Amino acid sequence: MLGHPARWLALGFGSGLSPKAPGTVGTLWAWVSWLALAPWMDTAAWAGLLLAGTALGWWACTRTAQHLGVADPGAIVWDEVLAFWLVLWLLMPAGWLMQVVAFGLFRYFDAAKPGPVGWADRLFKPVPGQRIGWAQGFGILFDDFVAAGCTLLVLALWKAIA
């Protein structure tokens, strides 16, 4: 993590270095950090943070994947952070139960990659022999944003029928 500034961001400030379930640990870090930042953030600030985080994250995830020589390393968790921040930004205010359900749904969509999430995950994978480039860096982020969209869709349907 100390070898390059991009790694700090891409590895979720160390949360991606968890030996077990780094994506889950990164998502937990996103949840805790969202709760810590929320009192000082309004809608415009969250939008700005998500946009800037996506642009900077594209660079950081691309560079870190290149340094590690893996198109989508499990240790890169900035994609989970941004995507779960998006879920919470659009979900809140919500009670703990809804937040826990959102967390579980997001982790399911991100890990199992059903339907559109699997499509998004495969879309930017390099072919054998292809170097890791900006498309793969974008792909690291993209499938998690699709997982966030699926999470929000299920939550909206749940609220509509409840």
Q: How far apart are CA 31 and CA 24, in angstroms?
A: 11
Among residues 63, 66, 50, the alpha carbon closest in space to that of 144 is found at 50
Q: How far apart are CA 97 and CA 13, in angstroms?
A: 27
Average pLDDT over every residue of 133-159? 97
Domain that holds residue 45: 5-161
Our CA angle for 114, 128, 17, nearest 5°, is 60
Looking at the structure of the chain, the number of domains it has is 1
Does the structure show a pLDDT above 70 at 1? no
Average pLDDT over every residue of 16-29? 97
What pLDDT does residue 49 have? 98
Average pLDDT over every residue of 21-25? 97
Non-local CB neighbours of 13 within 8 Å, separated by 6+ positions: 29
Average pLDDT over every residue of 107-117? 98
Torsion, Cα 111 65 143 139, to 10 degrees, reads -160
Burial of 104 (0-12, 13-18, 19+ CB in 10 A): exposed
Q: Which amino acid is at 116?
A: P
What pLDDT does residue 127 have? 86
Average pLDDT over every residue of 119-126? 94
What is the percent of the chain where pLDDT is above 90? 94
Q: What is the CA radius of gyration of the chain?
A: 15
Which 3 state secondary structure label does DSSP give 86?
helix
Q: What pLDDT digit, counting tens, does each position of 40-91 carry? A: 999 999 999 999 999 999 999 999 999 999 999 999 999 999 999 999 999 9
Non-local CB neighbours of 107 within 8 Å, separated by 6+ positions: 23, 24, 27
Termini Cα distance of the chain: 45
Please state, in angstroms and as integers, the Cα–Cα distance from residue 44 to each residue in 41, 47, 86, 133, following that order: 8, 5, 13, 31
